[in-house]
């Protein structure tokens, strides 16, 4: 094991390993080699072994990896057994979708409460989660520490809401707004879900494909 400093690339692959291992478990597979795992995931076996070796020795020579054990190791590396506390700010369409559909518990996160400015939402209960007045953020928590804030407010309120949360002492912000947050406290972790960035990157690949296709068509025309 090295454990000097694990690169972002490795970290971003860990959740994918987790998903694959869960899938294998469901399929009744109880052991797998790096070769087979790589084949199924479109990675090389050596990359997989290198990735895991950042954190320990989880395999056995001549045998491979025990699916359940490896799954447990990765879950632990990702902090899934830490029970992080979560609040959600901004109960619009996307906020509500997360409250009602996203299974925070499954990933070791515990959604405690939601916040909004709209009077018609405050006091209600959505998907089992109480919605409070956002200006009551500090008071309503009554000293309970908050690890993570999910930020789903409109773009125009994002910066100020983010600062409120930083002042409250959250350790991380899961940012669904379409701006780049720059928290005054640089220790606060910001994890972005930028729909538009994803769509635009897809637009690039689409354009590229179409250019290739049209170039091929032009070439074909010329040959005739």
What is the binding site for a copy of itself (CB under 8 A)? Answer: 11-12, 14-16, 18-20, 23, 41, 77-80, 82, 84, 92-94, 96-98, 100-102, 104, 106-109, 147-148, 171-172, 174, 178-180, 187, 189, 191-207, 209-210
Identify the three-state secondary structure at position 98. helix
Burial label, 218 (beta-carbon count in 10 A; 0-12, 13-18, 19+) = exposed
Closest CB to a copy of itself among 30 and 211? 211
Task: Give the shortest CB-182-to-DNA separation in angstroms.
Answer: 18
Question: 178 touches which of a copy of itself, DNA, none (CB within 5 to 8 A by kind)?
Answer: a copy of itself
Question: 224 touches which of DNA, a copy of itself, none (CB within 5 to 8 A by kind)?
Answer: none
Question: 72 touches which of a copy of itself, DNA, none (CB within 5 to 8 A by kind)?
Answer: none
Q: Which of 20, 29, 53, 130 binds DNA (CB under 7 A)?
A: 53
Q: Are strands 129-133 and 125-126 parallel, antiparallel or unpaired?
A: antiparallel
Number of shown-chain residues binding DNA (CB under 7 A): 27
Question: 20 touches which of a copy of itself, DNA, none (CB within 5 to 8 A by kind)?
Answer: a copy of itself
For residue 136, the 8-state DSSP code is G
Residues in 105-134 that interact with DNA by CB under 7 A: none
Task: Give the shortest CB-136-to-a copy of itself separation in angstroms.
Answer: 25
Question: 194 touches which of a copy of itself, DNA, none (CB within 5 to 8 A by kind)?
Answer: a copy of itself
**H helical segments located in 42-194:** 45-53, 67-77, 93-101, 137-141, 155-168
End-to-end CA distance of the chain: 61
Q: How many Cβ atoms sit within 10 Å of the Cβ of residue 34?
A: 20
Q: Which of 28, 62, 119, 128 binds DNA (CB under 7 A)?
A: 62
Say which residues have a Cβ less than 8 Å from residue 86's Cβ, sequence separation at least 6. Answer: 104, 109, 110, 111, 112, 146, 147, 148, 149, 150
**Interatomic CA distance for residues 82 and 110, integer angstroms:** 10
Tell me the β-bridge partners of 182: none
């Amino acid at each position: 094991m090295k454990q000097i400093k694990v690169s972002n690339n490795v970290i971003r692959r860990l959740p994918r390993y987790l998903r694959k291992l869960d899938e294998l478990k469901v399929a009744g597979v109880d052991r797998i080699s790096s070769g087979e795992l790589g084949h199924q995931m479109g990675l090389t076996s050596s990359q997989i072994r290198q990735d895991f070796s950042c954190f320990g020795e989880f395999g056995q020579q001549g045998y491979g990896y025990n699916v359940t054990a490896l799954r447990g190791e990765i879950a632990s590396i990702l902090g899934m057994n830490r029970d992080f506390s979560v609040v959600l700010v901004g109960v619009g369409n996307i906020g509500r979708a997360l409250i009602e559909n996203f299974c925070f518990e499954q990933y070791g996160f515990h959604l405690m409460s939601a916040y909004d400015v709209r009077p018609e939402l405050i006091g209600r209960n959505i998907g089992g989660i109480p919605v409070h007045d956002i200006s009551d953020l500090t008071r309503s928590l009554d000293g309970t520490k908050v690890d993570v804030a999910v930020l789903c407010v409109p773009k125009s309120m994002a910066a100020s809401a983010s600062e409120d949360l930083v002042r409250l002492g959250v350790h991380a912000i899961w940012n669904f707004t379409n701006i780049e947050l720059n928290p005054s406290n640089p220790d606060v972790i910001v994890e972005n879900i930028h729909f538009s960035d994803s769509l635009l990157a897809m637009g690039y690949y689409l354009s590229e494909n179409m250019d290739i296709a049209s170039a091929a068509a032009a070439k074909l025309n010329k040959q005739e």
